[in-house]
Amino acid sequence: MFFIVWGTRRRKKTLGFADVHKCSNCNNAKAFLVINVKEWFTLFWIPIFPVSSQYFLMCPICGYGAQITKEQALAAAGQPHPPQAAQTEPAAPFNEYNQDEQDTNN
Ligand SMILES: [Zn+2]
């Protein structure tokens, strides 16, 4: 018996850092993360093509975010490292935001 396994899968990718914003949820002033969430159509668990692509500006502390356009995201994510923020604690590592995905496409 032969059957086809298909579905969708979300992939979250950090594009970079935006300017320091004061989060309206947790009130921390931090360099917000610019992330891209793509939903892929998968066949036998292999991503074939993206079905949707959304961009978000996300607070690195509490994960609170707002959806932005692709143009806004590309313009905002010009900084690979966080600009100097008011607080001194280091920014969260990238992989904390990427750990829910395993790249099986290598
Ligand atoms: Zn926040």
Is residue 65 included in any domain, yes or no?
Answer: yes
Centre of ligand 1 to C-alpha 48, Å, is: 34
Question: What is the count of structural domains for the chain?
Answer: 1
Q: How far is the CA of 6 from the centre of ligand 1 (A)?
A: 36
- Residue 41 confidence (pLDDT): 96
Q: Rounded to 10 degrees, what is the CA torsion of 61, 66, 72, 74?
A: 50
Domain holding 51, by residue range, is: 15-84
Q: Is the pLDDT of residue 62 over 90?
A: yes
Measured from the Cβ of residue 53, the count of other Cβ atoms closer than 10 Å reads 13
pLDDT at 61: 94
- Residues around ion ligand 1, judged by CB within 5 A, are 23, 25-26, 59, 61-62, 64
On whether residue 60 sits in a domain, the answer given is yes
pTM over the 0.95 mark = no
| Residue 63 located in a structural domain | yes
Cα–ligand 1 centroid distance for 92 (angstroms): 13
